[in-house]
Amino acid sequence: MNESFIHSFIRRRAVRAMRETMASMASSWDDVVRRASEASGQPRGATLFLLGLALAPAIALGFPILGVALDVARVRDARVRARVRSSYALVAGSALSLACFGRSTMVCAHFGVASYLVMAAARRRCGGIVFAGSFAYLIRYHMMADTANTWKRGEVDISGLLMVLVLKVSACAMNYQDGATTPASEMSEFQNRRHLKRLPSVLDYASWLMFPCTLVSGPTIEFRDYANWLRDEGVWEGARPSAARAALKKLLGAIACLGMYQAISSKYTIANTYLDPDFDTKYSFLERAWHHHVYGQGNRLKYYFVWMMADFATTVSGLGFSGFDALGNACWDTAANIYPWGVEKSVTLNSIPLNWNVKTGLWLRHYVYDRVTPKGKKPGMTQLLITQIVSGVWHGLYAGYWLFFVTSAFAVNGGRLMYRWKQTCVPARLRFLVDVPLWIFTQLALNYLCAAFTLVDLRQSVAAWKSVYFYGHVGFLVTIVLGALLAPKSKSKSKTA
């Protein structure tokens, strides 16, 4: 009796001590967030997001340290090493999510548990079920949390993390379904590299969803890549080059983008461009177009910074390594979601998705665009529109997103037609005469479209475009008409890989 009482007393004291410790840690963290918010002038949500970005590389450093510790301990079993690495990713990612998003982290469990159960119970249909279910959940969250207007105010919530989880769980389910329903002879090259023969373990699946390096901002990473990295297989087998140089380059690039963003955003803001009630009377057409262009350019730099920081953290972890190129140079682009120079030098709009939000673009290409294209047929405008609509729904059911993505579908199609005309009809030595005006239009048009994506409100988006006489839409129409008249018809019907 006394012994039982003592054990019970000790347990109660231990639980109380743990609760007090956790409460103290939460209080200290809140104090850090408050001070950082006051120092930076950013809202609390944005401050938590930035702190999450800053903490991710430090957490990422734990992976190579863990590898060294396992080597010192002479742990050679690949399965044990994978479990240790996976456990660290799950614990660290969950802790980071709790620090940044608090109790909202529970919705990650909803996503993971529901998707995993569907894959386990209905393998031959799990791709469509998980796709529809995860999108329905995300749409509901977008509507309940009013996420677009939250972002517009400069706040950040967990919706960005949920958006990445939608890409992850739907891709994994489709790849698992492909492994059971699509013969190898009918798979595209992409499906051959990504399909799953076995259901992932619970630990690997959960740690992949909560991988800390890309947790707060994305991008999505394919499960096959993550599983191979855990087990030192594929490109990660054997000795790997040092990540130091690549990581430093990505960090310096992110800092440079942040500095340029701060410089531009200190002068050009949403309040003195799109939302200035006297904007139309205060400036001439060219001045208004210039303000829109510079604000859009600055806003783009913000995304460069965020994605390059996630890429930097993934490179530090070791997962960023993706093999060697044809010249034997190490590549570090597993989590490369943005190629700033590629965006800035794009001559036509159809090349933007190859350099901007790359991993989401690949997801849209391989899990939407290719899969809605009938077998044996060449994808066309219908498939492009469906893909852009899915992208719009993924961002949220707001009119500004619909305006942006539907307009983008026509803009990209016009860019594709102009590119085909240039490549087939303009002599190589004279292409620079075409490239220069096309590049100017592409850059202006990209920042013109930014208005709808930023404002999200239908009336405000239309008013912003109206203030510059819809010059972007006029240009898109001209490229489509000219491209249709000048570009030769494509006769190839090759299968999309």
User: Which residues participate in catalysis according to the annotation?
Assistant: 395
Residues forming a β-bridge with 330:
324
- Which of helix, strand or coil describes residue 362? helix
CA distance from start to end of the chain: 71
Picking from 113, 128, 119, 87, the residue whose alpha carbon sits closest to that of residue 200 is 119
Determine contact, residues 269/41, Cβ cutoff 8 Å.
no
Token pair of 130 as six digits: 């998980």
- Which residue in this structure is represented by tokens 């799950």? 90
Residues forming a β-bridge with 331:
323
Picking from 239, 204, 237, the residue whose alpha carbon sits closest to that of residue 222 is 204
Token pair of 119 as six digits: 């894959």
Determine contact, residues 252/434, Cβ cutoff 8 Å.
no
- Which residue in this structure is represented by tokens 């510790």? 69
Residue type, 285: F
> Pseudo-torsion of CA 189, 190, 195, 200, nearest 10°?
140
**Distance between CA atoms of residues 434 and 426, nearest Å:** 8
How buried is 125 (Cβ within 10 angstroms: 0-12 exposed, 13-18 middle, 19+ buried)?
A: middle
383 Cβ contact list (under 8 Å, min separation 6): 369, 372, 373
Determine contact, residues 262/304, Cβ cutoff 8 Å.
no
User: What does 366-401 look like in DSSP terms, one character per residue?
Assistant: IIIITTTSPTTS---HHHHHHHHHHHHHHH-S-HHH
User: What does 208-269 look like in DSSP terms, one character per residue?
Assistant: HHT-GGGTTT-----HHHHHHHHTT-GGGSS----SHHHHHHHHHHHHHHHHHHHHHHTT--
Q: At how many degrees (to 10) do helices 106-121 and 126-145 cross?
A: 160
Determine contact, residues 210/89, Cβ cutoff 8 Å.
yes
